[in-house]
Amino acid sequence: MDLQALKNKYDIIGNDPALNEALETAVKFAPTGLSVLIQGESGVGKESFARIIHQFGPRRQNAFFAVNCGALPKELVNSELFGHVKGSFTGAVDTRKGYFEEADGGTLFLDEIAELPLESQALLLRVLQSGEYRKVGSNKVEHTDVRIVAATNVHLYEAVKRGKFREDLYFRLSAAQIRIPPLRDRKSDIYLLFRKFTSDFSEVNGMCKISLRPDAIRLLEQYRWPGNIRQLQGFTQSLTAQVSVKVTPTLQRIELGAQDLMPFMPREEGDPIPALYEGPQPSSAFNADERQAIFKAIFDLKQEVDALKARLDRRSLPAPPDPVEEEAEWQGQEEISSHAPIFHMESPEPPAQEESLSVRRKEEDLIRQALEKYRGNRKKAAEELGMSERTLYRKLPPEFRKK
């Protein structure tokens, strides 16, 4: 199976070289029977790699079990993994099989393995070395033949140095490693994933797909996506639900620019408004360059609002754009259906959507946040927003005009 066919089968999106290398490594490890350690941040898709190792290995006809070690109650970890006998503890009303017995002959995927207690790590090491284990409350040694694929979102060797992870278990697992890159290191894949997620969500809900102009794509790529693919998927679905409208014969796609996208971008904890990310996460408030970028975006937004008002006052709406041919798959140059006009966000919206898509409302929200921050002090709010106090007064939201 070639690499693209493998991605299609397991719904893996992207062409980043580091991602391709990780997939190729998984396919190489699969037929060997080795225990494999998959390292990567939360949300990068580690379980998909574990399933590839299972499906391309000699155990593919047998069971595959996925266990989230971080979700197991600490007092029941050993019971869940190795089983227990009747009466071994309060609530043990029957003898129960554990995952190692259930997965005998197959593959056991242990996600978040760093969350296992040290006692359980010692028992896991014994299973890896000899296949032997005991049920909780039993002295009988039992055997299992299970392939272990472990995964973690923490630096395991750092955990070893802190005494949180057994060194012998680390070396046992780390002989065969796969590292999955975070989304921030796969910038060229971010928009590809965005298009896939908005396309799937739109088709299910009968809504227009969302596409981005180059400046909006750059904004999307500059954010660090700490939640990786899982976060991007949730963001894309939420954005589509808020901005898109139902598909009609004359409207099947909505295009956004950076100024349209910015109000919806994820906010870091404590940030008053979204900021572009271009390096390591700052430890304090916005620096001068970031503030300047935000103020420039506000002024640009004002110009677009004024231009929109002028067009509406003249009642001379622009003619609809020419139809654009769409490729059949979202993987192509752009996901546009055949003969489907594109709706550009800077053009006047349909009346039903005018309020929800209003850039004026976005500007008022920024002003409202600044005034609330400085408890109604217009001078300080104007300085924060980089505009004169007179301009701020002219743009005051209705609830602040009486103050």
What single string gives the DSSP state of each residue in 352-383? Answer: HHHTTT-HHHHHHHHHHHHHHHTTT-HHHHHH
Same structural domain, 171 and 194? no
Coil/strand/helix, residue 38? strand
Could you tell me which residues come within 8 angstroms of residue 72 by beta carbon, excluding any fewer than 6 positions away?
A: 80, 81, 115
Same structural domain, 230 and 195? yes
Same structural domain, 210 and 74? no
Same structural domain, 34 and 137? yes
Same structural domain, 241 and 319? yes
Q: Examine residue 389 and state whether it is found in any structural domain, yes or no.
A: no
Provide the pairing of β-strand 147-152 with 177-179: unpaired
Final residue belonging to a domain, choices 181, 211, 245 = 181
310 class by beta-carbon count within 10 Å (0-12 exposed, 13-18 middle, 19+ buried): exposed
Same structural domain, 162 and 238? no
| DSSP category for residue 222 | H
CATH of the domain at 22: 3.40.50.300
Same structural domain, 201 and 141? no
Asked if residues 366 and 273 have their Cβ atoms less than 8 Å apart, the reply is yes
Q: Examine residue 303 and state whether it is found in any structural domain, yes or no.
A: no
Q: Examine residue 397 and state whether it is found in any structural domain, yes or no.
A: no
Final residue belonging to a domain, choices 152, 181, 210 = 181
Q: Can you tell me the distance from the alpha carbon of 202 to that of 288, in angstroms, rounded to the nearest whole number?
A: 39
Final residue belonging to a domain, choices 347, 370, 390 = 347
Q: Examine residue 62 and state whether it is found in any structural domain, yes or no.
A: yes
Asked if residues 110 and 96 have their Cβ atoms less than 8 Å apart, the reply is no
Same structural domain, 253 and 151? no
Largest alpha-carbon pair distance within the chain? 88
Q: Examine residue 371 and state whether it is found in any structural domain, yes or no.
A: no
**Dihedral sign, Cα of residue 321, residue 325, residue 331, residue 332:** negative
Q: Examine residue 277 and state whether it is found in any structural domain, yes or no.
A: yes
Same structural domain, 92 and 172? yes
Q: Examine residue 139 and state whether it is found in any structural domain, yes or no.
A: yes
Prediction pTM value: 0.66
Q: Can you tell me the distance from the alpha carbon of 102 to that of 146, in angstroms, rounded to the nearest whole number?
A: 9
Structural domain for 142, as ranges: 3-181
Same structural domain, 203 and 174? no
Number of folded domains that form the chain: 2
Nearest Cα neighbor of 281 from 292, 263, 268 is 268
Q: Examine residue 386 and state whether it is found in any structural domain, yes or no.
A: no
> Which amino acid would we find at residue 281?
Q
CATH of the domain at 272: 1.10.8.60
Same structural domain, 91 and 64? yes
Could you identify the residue written with the tokens 């923490």? 154
Nearest Cα neighbor of 98 from 120, 70, 122, 129 is 120
Same structural domain, 160 and 196? no
Residue 4 Cα to chain centre, angstroms: 22
- Tens digit of pLDDT at every position of the chain (403 positions): 688 899 999 999 999 999 999 999 999 999 998 999 999 999 999 999 999 999 999 999 999 999 999 999 888 899 999 998 887 777 777 888 999 999 999 999 999 999 999 999 999 999 999 999 999 888 899 999 999 999 999 999 899 999 999 999 999 998 899 999 999 999 999 999 999 999 999 999 999 999 999 999 999 999 999 999 999 999 999 999 999 999 888 888 999 999 999 999 998 654 433 444 344 444 444 555 555 556 556 655 655 666 565 555 544 434 434 433 444 345 655 544 434 445 555 544 444 444 444 556 777 778 888 888 877 788 887 777 777 777 777 777 777 765 5
Coil/strand/helix, residue 242? helix
